[in-house]
Copies of this chain bind each other. A is one copy, B any other.
Amino acid sequence: MKRELFDIPEGVIYLDGNSLGAPPKHVAERMQEVVKHQWGTRLIRSWSEGWWEAPQRIGDRIGRLIGAAEGQVVVGDSTSVNVFKALTGAVKGTSRTEIVCDESTFPTDGYIAQSVASLTGLKIRAAHPSSMELTEDTAVVLLNHVDYRTGALNDMKELTEQAHSVGAQVVWDLCHSAGVLPIELDALNVDFAIGCTYKFLNGGPGSPAFIYVPKHRQSTFENPLSGWNGHREPFAMEPSYEPDPGIVRARVGTPDILSMLALDAALDVWDDVDLAELRERGLKLTALFREHVEKLTSLEVITPEVRGNQISVRCPDAKAVMDELIARGVIGDHRPPDVLRFGFAPLYVTDEDAIKAAETLAEITR
């Protein structure tokens, strides 16, 4: 519990950290330093005083939170762009014919998969993680670790093994699980993973996403977005693209330093977090909220027992109910057609927040 490190406005119960994490207090000051000193005083020199390597350095910081040893994670671009890199890289040169996509996925993953299929000539097939029916035609499976609507947690070990058993690769989307529970990408032999940093990691609005490419895949990974930042000698300005031998090849263009260094600052609060303890606290908070919703309202909780840090509640007129919740200081969000979502970031949400939110929901819907 690190609530004192966060800026949460007086009178607000913030249960939307699964959409936009709250800012750690020191981020504002760090941004002053970056704008005034690094950009303003040092100017172009800052590129050789830490900016150029920031995507790898910050990638390693995230790596520690997702079970990836150093040199396998790089930060930059949006989640959508990283899905494109991972999927296109995974199917490049394959003779297999299909991409299987989690049918309950956050839409952007599916939209990007459609484009990758269209560009590479593969077919796309939507399937539920519980019944994917993979075959030797399956080149790659794109899966969400935690479902954005229901909060259901998929079994990374089992589904990765299922893909590997037919020789398929797997791309895991960690948007709703990074910063929620211990993840073991290396140990589970995951092929690729991507995720955003502005939810439970609190990196700031639209902060850069990350991509994980394990060591043993790096030399064969072809980044379709072969920008100069991924070149083995970017400042040689050579006419031909020769990728860096390591994770740097997953970089594309010049990184958005202000957003990236805000994320860097935000990650400071994670340095001494024990992910197992954090997970326990997240489970406690979501259980507490669920218990009170079920006791105080007649609404259906659609989040299954095996879950992330989110409780979703089916509610007719979800938009109007959420508007009223927000008017009363309880901030969550809603997803069509009829789902209220409540995210419980264990770093700054209290037990009292969870109970008070359920009580307010009950008042509005009774």
Which chain A residues have a beta carbon within 8 Å of chain B's beta carbons?
A: 7, 9, 12, 14, 16, 19-20, 22-23, 27-28, 31-32, 35-36, 38-41, 43-47, 51, 77-81, 84, 88, 103, 106-108, 110-112, 114-115, 119-120, 126, 149, 196, 198, 204-209, 223-229, 231, 235-241, 252-260, 262, 326, 331, 333, 335-336
Residues of B within 8 A of A241 (CB): 107, 110-111, 114-115
B107 touches A205 (CB 8 A): no
Of the candidates B36, B106, B209, B227, the one whose C-beta lies within 8 Å of that of A111 is: B227
Contact B31 A43 (CB under 8 A): no
A78 and B77: CB pair below 8 A? yes
Partner of A35, one of B28, B224, B333: B28
In contact, A224 and B262 (Cβ under 8 angstroms): no
Give complex CA distance A24, B30 in Å: 18
Residues in chain B near residue A28, CB distance under 8 A:
32, 35-36, 40
CB–CB A115/B224 < 8 A: yes
User: Which residues of chain B are within 8 angstroms of A336 by Cβ–Cβ distance?
Assistant: 235-237
**In the complex, residue of chain B having the shortest beta-carbon distance to the beta carbon of A254:** B206
Q: Are B78 and A258 in contact (CB under 8 A)?
A: no
Q: In the docked arrangement, what's the CA distance between A198 and B254, Å?
A: 10
Contact A331 B45 (CB under 8 A): yes
A sample of 7 cross-chain residue pairs with beta-carbon separation below 8 angstroms, ordered by A number, consists of A32-B32, A79-B253, A111-B241, A119-B119, A205-B254, A206-B253, A235-B336
A120-B88 Cα distance, complex, nearest whole Å: 13
Q: Verify B22–A40 contact, CB threshold 8 A.
A: yes
For A101, give the chain B residue with the smallest CB separation: B239
Q: A256–B81 Cα gap in the complex (Å)?
A: 13
Closest 3 CB pairs of A and B: A78-B253, A80-B227, A80-B253
Partner of A207, one of B88, B224, B256: B256
Asked if B39 contacts A23 (CB within 8 A), the reply is yes
B225 lies within 8 A of A115 (CB): yes
A231: chain B residues at CB < 8 Å are 107, 111
- Asked whether A31 lies within 8 Å of B258 as measured between CB atoms, the reply is yes
Please report the C-alpha to C-alpha distance between residue A253 and residue B78 in the assembled complex, in whole angstroms.
Answer: 5
| Given known A-B contacts A22-B40, A257-B205, A103 and B239 have beta carbons under 8 A apart | yes
